[in-house]
Structures are given as C-alpha cells and as structure tokens.
Amino acid sequence: MKASINGRVHELPDRLTVRELLEHVGSRLAGVAVARNDRVVRRGDYDAARIEEGDRIEIIQAVAGG
C-alpha cells in the first residue's frame, strides 16, 4: 500500500496502525504528534487508527534546544 509520510510517498505493509507506522519508520512515541489526512490522531487512538491506501500522514517530532 502507498501512503504519503511528511510529503513523500512510501510503500507500506497493509493495514498498519499509527503505532506500528511509527515503529516502522523508526520514530519514538515520546514527543511525537501525528496527523492523518489533516486531522490529529490522539495518542490514545494510535493502536486503533489504521493507515489506508493514499492517506497523508504528518509525523512531527518535538525537539528541545536553544
């Protein structure tokens, strides 16, 4: 299945959950926000929300610094 992650199309296994997607791309859960098709996915929904063909995913990682 193909889905866009941060503006780039990726080939992904079918029916990944948001949590599985984050693991697949090597992102940590701490300090991460995820939007699916312009709607924020609540952290409590990461195990239930499934990525579908053609979805647009934005993964935003908080970074501390100064």
Per-residue pLDDT tens for 19-51?
999 999 998 888 999 999 999 999 999 999 999
Contact indicator for 27, 37 with CB cutoff of 8 Å? no
Interacting residues of 48 by C-beta distance below 8 A, sequence separation 6+: 17
Contact indicator for 3, 12 with CB cutoff of 8 Å? yes
Which token pair is 49? 């929300």
* pLDDT of the residue at 65: 79
At the second CATH level, the architecture of 2-61 is Roll (3.10)
Distance, in Å, from the CA atom of 28 to the CA atom of 9, rounded to the nearest integer, reads 21
Residue 57 CB coordination number (10 Å): 22
User: Taking the model in full, what pTM does it have?
Assistant: 0.88
| Residue ranges of domains in the chain | 2-61
